[in-house]
Structure 1
Amino acid sequence: MALPFPTDDPFLIGYYEPIHMECDAPNLPVTGEVPKALRGTLYRNGPNPQFAPRGRPHHWFSGDGMLHAFHFDEGRVSYRNRWVRTPKWFMENANGEGMSGSLSHRHLTDPALLELNSTVANTNVIWHGNRLLALEEAHAPFEVDPVTLEPRGYHRFEDKLPGAMTAHPKYDPVTGELIFFAYAASGRFTSDLMLHVADREGRLQRSVHLDAPFPSMVHDFVVTRTHIIFPIFPLTGSMERATNQLPPYAWEPDKGTHIGVLPRDGTAADIRWFTGEPCFVFHAMNAFDDGKQIVCDMMKYDVPPLFPRPDGSPVSNESPDARLVRWTFDPTGNTASFTEQLLDDRPGEFPRLDERFAMSQYRHGYFNSAPVTEGVKGGAARGGIAHIDLITGRTAEWLPEIGDYCSEAIFVERHADALEGDGWLLSVIWRGNQNRSDLAVFDAADIAAGPIALAHLSHRVPAGFHGNWRNALG
């Protein structure tokens, strides 16, 4: 018999509470008018534990992946959700109850599940090389059918991918390449990285093994037209801690921040390291070369959220906030430092852009205008969406009602040749007072006016992480 979920764990209740069903809704009710030019599918991914996990407190990053697909066609919106049926999902499903400890309770995981070494595939979902891939950063991608969301199994690039793949690969809109990496490339908590490049058809073309200053959680990275930038923050990994029931990943600020800059066609010998004050970044907005320098726009924390110090004590008395900053590097200079400029002073997370301008100079950025864990406040707070014009510095913001929270906003261009920022933003909004969700469509040029259309679900889409858009074929 499946055990009940706890009712006092902040990442298993309210906005974060998992749903226990899979369903199909072929024609969602709509308020407003969905643009008929919106043709394709929005896929979203996030943790949705099938069974109550072992150990408390539960870590938000744990839990089986669940995909939510919203399909747009001729002004209609349909919906389908499915768990990502990974080997872990199947083992626990057959067992009838949870067998896994969350991120900080690996010692409570059943030995059979540890030996399985399965992905949870709960962080991101991308379309590349005619494959839909569910991602998390400790394992190979997991392929699912783009229509039914049924499992197709691990995708290892014709057995050329020896290990894991980041949940944040970078798609080059000019070449069609997919650039990605794995940290702890030689085994748990090792300090090395493995860089990979696949062509537009999804064939692995190149791999480079790199050494980093120390073992670190490297959640995201950035790429420009000429360089690849690897940020190594002092959120360190430790096998010694993990085997002694201490935090596997913990904040050690004395190690500082190290940023590795590698030419796109470079070898391990070509990487150059810059250093800075301790900080942490989960997500980057974009990066580009301005002719002489490398510019990286990042959501920066002074200390990381959701992770403790090595002894398990909290890094801060308050939940840390991230703010959008711009880092500038001189790859030809003789300094190992870089400069920082604050771009916007409001707390935020989940930065996005018009992906046609990824790796290039760009103007428009979008992000959630609330701290990443604001949802634990339930009806006492809210989470909206912000737009920043990086040329003028002007910002716009839309805020829902108190108790409502917007997911990461995904940009969809009006048509292939539309100007940058000419299109729509799509976000799933949790209506806290009603405990259900809406899919919202915004005019990306005027988000402050609020949604131009809402597709209504009768159930909640739990707080998730990332999603992407796939244009309709034909």
Structure 2
Amino acid sequence: MLQVIGIPDACDNLAPIPMECDAPFLQIRGELPRELNGTLYRNGANPQFASPNAHWFFGDGMLHAFRLENGRASYRNRWVRTPKWLAEHDAGRPLYGEFNMKLPDAPRSAPDDGNVANTNIVYHAGRLLALEEAHLPMEIEPGTLATRGYHDYGGVLKGPFTAHPKIDPVTGEMLFFGYNAAGPLKRTMSFGAIDASGHVTRLEYFKAPYAAMVHDFIVTEHYVLFPILPLTGSLWRAMRGKPPYAWEPGKGSYVGVMKRGGSTRDIRWFRGDACFVFHVMNAWEDGTRIVADVMQSEEAPLFPHTDGRRTDPDKGRARLCRWSFDLASNTSGFSRSYLDDISGEFPRIDERRAGLRSRHGWYACASPETPTLGMLTGLVHVDGDGTRRARYLLPAGDTIGEPVFVPRTPDAAEADGWLLTVIWRGCENRSDLAVFNAADIESGPIALVQLGHRVPDGFHGNWVAN
């Protein structure tokens, strides 16, 4: 069972499922749009074996693929065959514990590589990549979900690679970063770019103000922003049996701003009070300002204070917040203002507007009765000002995953298309793939693809058209 730090009464759908399976013909309630032809790939933690002090973030990656074509639907799931997964599979027991470090009784032959490849799955330059921010991408065979192995871009990349790269909708360039780039719990970070044909065109290194867990970053048409927030990493703590990553608000928050055509040597650091962000919705330029909409919390959820105390679940709930950076000012501060009081996570946009001014966004939200991370029970649709346009709540006991937008056609207007998301039916202990009209979520799903088993609450996914 996964330990979920900071989530009291965590929902049962965080538990792993023990099997891989194929379901070639799924039942459908409603009617799937005929224009939906492709595959929704989804990734999440699904440990092969129960492990001591396991954390939700460090379970083995399991991929789920929903293939939709001509009104029909099929499903397949597979674990990512990382070196860790293969070693434990051969041993028939767990070999790795907290933060995927080898257990004392693990055989010497077990690899030191604790990669779980469990956070995201993206398609770029003809390759499907399972991502987890502490390691290189794992290449996956589309359709079969077979693991092809690490993809290091011809030996150019060697260190950590973010689970949230940004793909430029105009050029097809993929920007990425990595933290712990000079070793575990160190403040050196990397930044790079991969062109639309899959070649690394840039790779630089820089030092952050302090070592931190940096899950996401911000990209606009002409700028890159690196949020360094006080979920700090400390080798000193780790060597003394204390939390390697912990909430340390006294460090404050930093955001580094760099021109995309510039150098990491020229990063300008803005500062603010302590806060935390796992995920960015979108960002854009407005004259001399950069505006970013993020899901901000007052404390980092799921991780403890430096002395081991749990953080406050209420302060750990994320809400949509707007950051603004005035590049023409002489100050080092930036403004932050909450746009709504609804708790939520996993924000998404029409990716054709990534880094540009967008007029629509969506995220999974918590129920007003249980506003904590881990109990996401609905969807929210916001406009470009962050104003709530609509909300849809599930029946009591059900939970929902990240919404993924799919345009009706490649040149359709922004938000003209569908939202795809996985719903767990708590009373039936199984899952549906739900299809919503993206512009009218309040009316509920227009189609439900019904599975006979559940898909555990996971992390991220993306649509790949045929």
Q: Please state how far the C-alpha of 1:311 moved relative to its aligned partner.
A: 1.3
Amino acid at match of 1:139: H
Partner of 1:22: 20
| Secondary structure of the structure 2 residue equivalent to 1:262 | strand
Query: Could you tell me how far apart the structure 2 residues matched to 1:175 and 1:466 are?
Result: 23
Q: CA deviation at 1:13?
A: 7.2
| Corresponding position of 1:174 | 170
Alignment: residue pair count: 462
1:409 to 400, 403, 422: 403
2:84 alignment partner, SS class: helix
Cα distance in 1 between the residues matched to 2:365 and 2:386: 19
Q: For the residues of structure 2 that align with 1:392 and 1:306, how far apart are their CA atoms?
A: 26
Which of 440, 446, 455 is the aligned partner of 1:446? 440
CA displacement 1:125-178 (0-9 Å, x = unmatched): 000011110000000000010111011000001110021100000010111000
- Establish whether residue 385 from structure 1 lines up as the match of residue 379 from structure 2: yes
* Corresponding residue for residue 431 of structure 2: 437
Match of 2:66 in 1: 70
**Aligned 8 A contact 2:2 2:59 in 1:** no
Unaligned runs of 5+ in 1: none
2:49 is paired with a residue whose SS is: coil
> Take 2:108 and 2:317, find their aligned partners in 1: how far apart are those partners?
38
Please name the residue that 1:99 is paired with: 95
- Match 2:259 to one of 242, 245, 263: 263
2:291 maps to: 295
Distance 2:73 2:262 in 1: 45
* Distance in 1 between residues matched to 2:66 and 2:119, nearest whole Å: 17
1:344 is displaced (CA, Å) by 1.5
| Structure 1 length-normalised TM | 0.93
Mean alpha-carbon deviation: is it higher for 111-120 or for 64-73?
Answer: 111-120
Secondary structure of the 1:116 match is coil
Show structure 2 runs of 5+ residues with no match.
none
Please report the RMSD computed on the Cα atoms of aligned residues, expressed in angstroms.
Answer: 2.2
Equivalent of residue 352 in structure 1, options 321, 345, 348: 348
Alignment partners' CA distance in 2, 1:15 and 1:45: 14
TM-score with structure 2 setting the length: 0.95
The answer to whether the Cα contact below 8 Å between 2:297 and 2:318 also exists between their aligned partners in 1 is: yes
Deviates more, 1:235-244 or 1:433-442: 235-244
The Cα of 1:107 is off from its aligned counterpart by 6.2
Equivalent residue for 1:339, pick from 335, 351, 355? 335
CA distance in 2, matches of 1:8, 1:466: 18
How far did 1:113 drift? Answer: 7.6
Change in 2 beyond 3 A, CA 1:274/1:73 = same
Q: Give distance in 2, aligned partners of 1:293 and 1:6.
A: 42
1:407 shift after superposition: 0.5
Name the residue aligned to 1:86. Answer: 82
Quick one: structure 1 residues 327 and 87, their matched pair in 2 at CA, closer, same or farther if it must change by over 3 Å?
A: same
| Separation in structure 1 between the aligned mates of residue 392 and residue 211 of structure 2, nearest angstrom | 39
1:356-376 alpha-carbon deviations (Å, 9 max, x no partner): 0000001100001128xx799
Judging changes above 3 Å, is the alpha-carbon distance between structure 1 residues 7 and 285 closer, same or farther for their aligned structure 2 residues?
closer
Contact 1:28 1:77 in 2 (8 A): yes
> Retained in 2: the 8 A contact 1:101–1:109?
no
**SS of 2:98 mapped into structure 1:** coil
Q: Is the 8 A contact 1:382 1:399 kept in 2?
A: no
1:254 aligns with 2:250: yes
Q: Distance in 2 between matches of 1:141 and 1:430?
A: 28
Distance change (3 Å), C-alpha of 1:109 and 1:279: farther
The structural deviation recorded for 1:108 is: 5.7
Query: 1:464 is matched with which residue?
Result: 458
DSSP-derived class of the 1:92 partner: helix
Instruction: State the partner residue of 1:418.
Output: 412
What do the CA deviations read for 1:77-96 (whole angstroms, capped 9, x no partner)? 11000000111111000000
Relative to structure 1, the CA distance from residue 8 to residue 291 in structure 2 (aligned partners, 3 Å threshold; closer, same or farther) is closer
Letter in 1 for 2:451: L
Q: Which amino acid aligns with 1:334?
A: N
1:139 aligns to what SS in structure 2? Answer: coil
Superposed displacement of residue 287, structure 1 = 0.7
> What SS does the corresponding residue of 2:25 show, helix, strand or coil?
coil
The 5 A counterparts of 1:90-239 are: 90-103=86-99, 110=106, 112=108, 115-239=111-235
Q: Is the 8 A contact 1:382 1:400 kept in 2?
A: no
Q: Which amino acid aligns with 1:134?
A: A
- Amino acid of the residue matched to residue 420 of structure 2? L
- The separation in 2 between residues aligned to 1:120 and 1:75, in whole angstroms, is 34
> Whole-Å Cα distance in 2 between the matches of residues 118 and 427 of structure 1?
29
Measured after TM superposition, the shift of residue 223 of structure 1 is 0.2
Q: Label 1:12 to 1:149 Cα distance change in 2 as closer, same or farther (>3 A).
A: farther
Does the CA-based 8 Å contact 1:104-1:248 persist in structure 2? no
Residues 36 and 60 (structure 1 numbering): CA distance in 2 closer, same or farther, change over 3 Å?
same
Sort the Cα spacing of 1:104 and 1:25 in 2 relative to 1 into closer, same or farther, 3 A.
closer
For residues 409 and 9 of structure 2, what CA distance do their matches in structure 1 show?
39
- Is the CA contact 1:414–1:424 (under 8 Å) kept in the aligned structure 2? yes
In the alignment, what sits opposite 2:36?
38
Cα pair 2:343 2:371 within 8 Å, conserved? no
Which position in structure 1 is the counterpart of 2:365? 369
* Structure-2 separation of matches of 1:382 and 1:208: 38
- 1:241 is displaced (CA, Å) by 1.2
Does residue 399 of structure 1 match 2:398?
A: no
Instruction: Tell me, yes or no, if the aligned pair for 1:15 and 1:376 is still in contact at 8 Å.
Output: no
Query: What whole-Å deviation, never above 9, does each CA across 1:94-113 have from its counterpart, x for those lacking one?
Result: 00011111338766683748
Alpha carbons of structure 1 residues 132 and 287: separation in structure 2 relative to 1, 3 Å = same
